[in-house]
Amino acid sequence: MGLICWLSLAWAYPDGVLYIPLDDRPPNWSPCTWQVVRCPPRAVYQGREGANLHALSSWLQEQPGRSLIASLDALVYGGLVQSRSSTLALEDAVRRLEALSRWRGRTGGQVLAFGVIPRHPDATNRTRNLALLRNLGDGFDYVEAPWDDALPGSPAVAEAATLPIPTRPGADEAGQVLLLRALNPGVRVRVLYDHPQVATQVTRYEGIPLQESITRLLASAGAVQVDSRPDLVLVVYTGGDPRRGVLTVLQGLREAPVAVADIARVNRGDASLVRYLVALDLYRDLAAYASWGTPGNNLGAALAQGGLFAIPLCQKAGNSLAACEEWRSRALAQAYLEYLWGEVGRPWVRARFPEPLTEEAARYVFARLQSEPTPHLGLGQLHPTGLKFPWRRSFEVEWQFRIE
């Protein structure tokens, strides 16, 4: 998942938006490639070893800004993985968060933050993690706690109910969602389901009914759910009948730009739906598409990217049509390559190479994927040019590509 290159155009939103990602995996790092935020140097994040805490805090104190979107887990523990195993005492964890209040006091900027309720049973110090989230204080303009992978038996949903801050399913998409809240709040969103009856069902990894998850997500993004005159239509595709999914997309396009959250499967998209969208030349018309993660991940990524890059919303922010088309096309290119990795690349490489993965494995799987079709986008045909494994494992990849 993810990409290396992005565009060199300047975003028309006011300067001074800082972003501290959860870690440097592609879903979390992607906003740093969009050139709408200022991020720490990539070297501050050290892959699976986590962020260099001293360097991260020092970087923050040197930055001016009007808004800060921050991962609490990155600032306190070094990242999501480290938050599960850290033996840090609560009082030390609280002390590390003082970096946020110092920045806020110096700049007068707003702070939007998120801390993750960790995945069960991986976290070895859940009591400490939850105590930190329960006692954050009032130094935030907005703070929330998404929970990570609530499979049956997970205590996360019950734990979330004890917190005095907003909670919802998700984790790796949270930075993108808060970016939408910071840059373009108030987006009017209509939600369409391919199977409306699924809205009341509990989806895998979420722990709550799908419609409740979406309601919480929209609140996180500062978006407004509407039944008419939307700025954006969020199509929730739950699978079973790709033709019905296409008809739902067409219904949405009659009202507004469409962002598709493909939640039919976990960590991979529905191949039949994507083939239909590409063959009918509908994929190129989408505002966003996401299929790389859990339902919460995909819903959040589709909403955030649609809210930022849908042409009318992007132009409303003061950007040129050409700039908006480039952002949208490149986001769709990234999303398609994420789909391609989940559907073809990851199963292929897992069947042939042990982890940790090498550059040789990257060359072989890239050669295999070059035979796969790619869509035509608003800027032209998508051409992958390379990939690598940032954490030397098969779950995520960083792509390079061009569109011409």
Q: What is the pLDDT of residue 11?
A: 54
pLDDT tens track of the chain, all 404 residues? Answer: 444 344 445 555 556 899 999 999 999 999 998 888 999 999 999 999 999 999 999 999 999 999 999 999 999 999 999 999 999 999 999 999 999 999 999 999 999 999 999 999 999 999 999 999 999 988 899 999 999 999 999 999 999 999 999 999 999 999 999 999 999 999 999 999 999 999 999 999 999 999 999 999 999 999 999 999 999 999 999 999 999 999 999 999 999 999 999 999 999 999 999 999 999 999 999 999 999 999 999 999 999 999 999 999 999 988 889 989 999 999 999 999 999 999 999 999 999 999 999 999 999 999 999 999 999 999 999 999 999 999 999 999 999 999 99
CB 265 within 8 A of CB 242: no
Q: What is the pLDDT of residue 318?
A: 83
CA-CA-CA-CA torsion sign (178, 179, 185, 191): negative
Q: What is the pLDDT of residue 117?
A: 98
Q: What is the pLDDT of residue 97?
A: 96
The three-state secondary structure class of 138 is coil
Q: What is the pLDDT of residue 6?
A: 40
CB 132 within 8 A of CB 118: no
What number does CATH give the domain 1-183?
3.40.50
What number does CATH give the domain 186-352?
3.40.50
Contacts of 141 (CB under 8 A, 6+ apart): 110, 111, 112
Q: Report the alpha-carbon distance of residue 29 to residue 172 in Å, rounded.
A: 10
Q: Report the alpha-carbon distance of residue 38 to residue 391 in Å, rounded.
A: 23
CB 299 within 8 A of CB 268: no
- The ranges of the chain annotated as CATH 3.40.50 are 1-183, 186-352
